[in-house]
Amino acid sequence: MGGRKFSWLWAAVAAVLLLSGCVSAGEGASTCTVVFEDDPELFFYNQIYETPRGGDVTVTVGVPTGRRIATVSFDRYTVSGKTGYSASYDYYDLILHDVRYPAVVRLTTSPALTTVYTAGEGQGETITVQEDSPRLSPNTLPWRGQFSREGFLAVGWNTAPDGSGVHIGFGSRGAREDGEETLTLYPQWLPCTPEEAFTWTERDGGAVITGYDGREGDLVIPETLGGLPVTAIAAGAFGAVTADTVALPPTLTAVEPGAFSALTAEHLYLFDTLEQVDEASLGDYAITRLHLNAVKDPAYSGTYFDTFPDKADYLRSVAEEDKLVLFCGSSARFGYDSPMLAEAFPDYEVVNMGVYAYANMLPQARIVLHYMKEGDILLHSPELDAIGQQFCGSTALDKETFCMTESNYDLLALLDCREFTNLWGAFGAFQAARADMEPRSYADSPALYDEDGNRQEQATYNRYGDYILYRENNLSGENFGIKRAFYNASHITEADWQGINAMYDSFAAKGVSVYFTYSPRSRTSISEDSTEVSITELDALFRQKLHAPVISDIQSSLMDPLYFYATDNHLSTEGAQIHTAQVIDDLRRALEGGA
């Protein structure tokens, strides 16, 4: 029907929509009509859809080659990556989520996003990429030696040819200015430390660094020594190194324990080809900013870990707006109906940052804090089966931090690594874990897959970060796992209390209002020592010790097992709506001064 005029039909249907609203489609049900407005530029197989109230509408749209969908006159939608093409059109799936009212939807297009990679002050052929990514910010190219410059090491992309612009790590994501359709990037070059500063030996066709003369200034290890690729740094090769910038080359695969006696650097550049490294490799290290560059294809794309960079992209896109940020683990991914929150609090952009409960929350908090401002709201709901990770009582990084930033390593550069321990132990564990995984593509967005990694025809996440695939109620009332939540104060250490309050204080210092609400939990899946008395005592302790108001009722958060799906803290679709309605009431009361 696309490309053919049907103004009379659109006008007739629009009139019906305005008069009728959603209409009954049988006992206990209703349907809504969605019409896609005619546009001679676009191709539709169908432009009129019926959907049950609250359902999704998926439509295939043909967009002229070289253009993209720019705007959709519907608040809750997802656009897929390119699903096909013909001589004149590229095809995309557009999904309208949670259609509750009849709608006439208008689409507009604009030129497709393009990234141009050019050598700048180096050598190499210009590469032009017409972006076809379902993500808000497309990934840049990983480093594959596309460009070269004798005596220099490339450590990322830059928006200026001389490296004075915005740095974007290889494979990471660059934010475009509003309306910026073409982004031109150049390699960012650092002059290498001269070969004569190193001693090395040959091993298996590579150069292994065995010594360094300790000269002052930046340490930039070249890719080759004596014509051999630098593949390893031997134990004892470096003493105590202090420099503003240290850079390790992409050829490097191993840094042996004791390779550095100490390393202090404001900026450390390295590549994900470094596979053998542990906490002893860099000695007594103090790294301020870690810049990790991608050479390898991602392994975690499409998984729930991969939702974190997408959520961070959305958070960054609304950084200047007033925001309501939902913050905890996967109980938030499954536990909120963000369109309900957006409707209840129209002055705030809603962002669901929940990913995974068993990852240290502290580095996630630091990344979230970077994009928040005065007047924002942080709604924190830590899971009580993961107190050690959720209360920020530990500064030890874990491999999950790297799993969650793999498709945008630049998020790691937002951390001050001096605040954390186990940096190299965590990175080494991450590298070991993904060594046995099949490589994937940055285009494998988690919105294309369910929680178990199965490809879906409909989007599984909305733009807010909620997991929206329909989840049935637990009619059997069973418990799904043996992991229990602890509603007994004896399981919370003083370090836990200090950690969570220090985290709250950091947000408050930036003018963010922090509120605590209990995460939902199946009432029958709590620990044996979580008695009615201990639950009451724990609630009183939270209200006494936390540096944030407790806005919810602890008993209400312990819900009927009926409303959980697959685990004892992942709500069913109906459960998420019930929980969100309660949170809306609690938060509204708190904002009105009743908490």
Report the run of H or E that residue 326 belongs to, with start and end. Answer: strand 323-327
Angstrom distance (rounded) from CA 337 to CA 459 = 15
Q: Dig out the tokens for 298 from the structure.
A: 């991602």
Contact 462, 338 (CB under 8 A): yes
Alpha helices, DSSP H, located in 509-572: 532-545, 554-557
Query: Identity (one letter) of the amino acid at 170?
Result: F
Contact 333, 467 (CB under 8 A): yes
Give the DSSP per-residue string, 474-517.
-TT-----S--B--SGGGS-HHHHHHHHHHHHHHHTTT-EEEE-
Report pLDDT for 435. Answer: 94
pLDDT of 458-487, one tens digit each?
789 988 999 999 999 999 999 998 889 999
Domain boundaries along the sequence of the chain: 7-111, 195-293, 305-397+457-591
Nearest one of 435, 590, 582 to 514, comparing CA atoms: 590
Report pLDDT for 8. Answer: 46
What's 467's DSSP letter? Answer: B
Report pLDDT for 3. Answer: 40
Q: Report the CATH fold assignment for 305-397+457-591.
A: Rossmann fold (3.40.50)
pLDDT of 90-136, one tens digit each?
888 898 988 988 999 999 988 778 999 999 999 999 999 988 777 88
- Which residues is 421 bridged to in the sheet? 396
Angstrom distance (rounded) from CA 99 to CA 121 = 52
Nearest one of 38, 30, 44 to 14, comparing CA atoms: 38
Average confidence (pLDDT) per 10 residues, the chain, 595 residues: 44 49 56 93 93 89 86 84 80 87 91 91 95 86 98 97 96 83 95 98 97 95 98 97 98 98 98 96 97 98 97 95 97 96 96 98 98 98 97 97 98 98 97 96 92 89 93 94 92 97 98 98 96 98 98 97 96 98 98 78
Q: What is the pTM of this model?
A: 0.88
Q: Dig out the tokens for 17 from the structure.
A: 């929509």
